[in-house]
Amino acid sequence: MLLLLLMATAGLYRRLLPCPPAVEFASSQGKELFLEAIHNGTMEGFYKLVSHFQTQSEPAFCGLASLSMVLNALAIDPGRKWKGPWRWFDESMLDCCESLEKVKVQGITFGKLVCLAQCAGAKVDSFRASHSSLDDFRKYVIKCSMSDECHVISSYHRAALKQTGNGHFSPIGGYHAGKDMALVLDVARFKYPPHWIPLKILWEGMNYVDEATGRTRGFLLVSRPHREPGLLYTLSCKHESWINIAKFLIDDVPLLLKSEDVKDVHQVVSIIVSSLPSKSEQFIKWVAEIRRREDGGPSLSTEEKARLAIKEEVLKQVQETGLFKYVASFLSNSCSRESPYDADALPVIAASICCQGAEILAGKPWSPAGYSCEVTCMKCLKAEDDKPITMVSGTVVNGNTEQGVDVLIPSSNRKSCRNCSSPSNYMRMHPASTDVLTVLLLSLPSTTWTGIKDEQLLTEIHSLVSTENLPSLLQEEVLHLRRQLHLLKRRQEGKVDQDLGAPHS
């Protein structure tokens, strides 16, 4: 009987919080600090955070739990389903910079958590302790404690706090100015409860070197962008060829332009597009507006119309760029063997998008053999302002189950949906190859073009691709893709931790 009792109680149930230096949040002293901080206005960030407070689901998931908690507190839409019909950030969805299996074993580094936050659509400012100061840290903690528009995630070593364990991530929920203490909302709630800690001691913990990277820890300032990134375009890593494509775009294109004696913009476009690796058309995607047919009905919701209107404005801005005219000219004169981007058969694309939409809505891993689109048809909806809206409807089959999926297609000024009876009228009423390629070229790093020898051509190229010359919506779209491309390249090189920032120029 005693042996069975010992077996049943094996394992650890919490730890005794070392006090000092910490003060437990739920203690009488902790409550007093809390009330004083509220009175001083430095607990404004607490309420949203505590509304989404979670316990990490794996011993090494502290970084993922901290980030998902902050992303949900900032009300950033993940754009993909968690469970059932709900879109919600969960640790299991944060896998774009490191595999979950690897994080489960090794945890996640500071740089890769920054990468994850950027991939998730947040605005991130990252600071290693070695390149910052206690005063800087205090300034940002106070800033986010007085607002619910940003949150700080601290990466520190527990030893500095006299706690067991080593590297750890947790959000900071508030600040007490009189005591110079931060409220650590420890996501390892099975181990330690939320607690107040002197800011100086927490800073000392961030100055520990992470053995995995040889660099100090630090803190992230995470905030919500003023609009969701990637409204119309995004880079995709679903196909295994993404590594070669990212390398080609960043490393090989500058060398091609330097080695060739290019004389005009047409030749520049031709060299790049004709040399693209296979499957490159799967690398950049347009973000479709997808809904279950039973969720939609014949009319569009206010939210759907608003998102579609912004997509159409981005598409319009793409088509008004000077570069678009050169890309359109090249594709119209190229034959199929020269470019993977020369076919724009919307029914074929729509069938593929319907299948992907069903997979996204089902929350299942992409399996090309699992989904097939049996029927697709195109029709027009009339909005209240009599503006026609193109919609592709498909019946997607997966095994013995069928699901109706609608895809809303952003229209452009080049074509109008006047005759909805003929599929040919829809051929370019979506972000077509010309649009996608234009945006991809605009998203290349500014250093791409420096090898061009002809000074006049170089000046012309710079005027065509400069983000400063783009309207605001398109500028943000391009900079988002440029950040994605930069992160993918650093990930492919295993150098995410060496360079936390993504270029904006």
CB atoms within 10 A of CB 12: 8
The one catalytic residue in 119, 144, 157, 168 is 168
Q: Which residue type occupies 238?
A: K
- The pairing of beta strand 195-198 with beta strand 181-184: antiparallel
- Bridge partners (DSSP) listed for residue 292: 405
481 backbone dihedrals φ, ψ, rounded to 5°: -65, -40
428 contacts: CB under 8 Å, gap ≥ 6: 344, 346, 412, 414, 415, 434
187 contacts: CB under 8 Å, gap ≥ 6: 54, 55, 56, 62, 65, 66, 69, 169, 170, 171
Q: Which of 12, 68, 54 is nearest to 187 (CA)?
A: 54
Burial of 438 (0-12, 13-18, 19+ CB in 10 A): buried
Cα distances (angstroms) measured from residue 215 to each of 155, 219, 344, 492: 12, 13, 48, 20
Provide the Cα torsion 410, 345, 280, 504; round to 10°: -20
Q: Give yes or no for a contact between 178 and 163, defined as CB atoms under 8 angstroms apart.
A: no
Q: Is 378 in a helix, a strand, or coil? A: strand
Tokens of 237: 């890593």
Q: Which of 160, 140, 183 is nearest to 32 (CA)?
A: 183
- The pairing of beta strand 372-382 with beta strand 233-235: unpaired
The one catalytic residue in 62, 115, 144, 354 is 62
451 backbone dihedrals φ, ψ, rounded to 5°: -80, -10
- Bridge partners (DSSP) listed for residue 157: 167
**DSSP state for residue 121 in the 8-state scheme:** T
402 contacts: CB under 8 Å, gap ≥ 6: 374, 395, 396
Active site residue 186: yes
- 176 alpha carbon, distance to own chain's centre: 33
Peptide bond before residue 21 is cis, with ω within 30 degrees of 0: yes
The one catalytic residue in 148, 186, 344, 406 is 186
Active site residues: 62, 168, 186
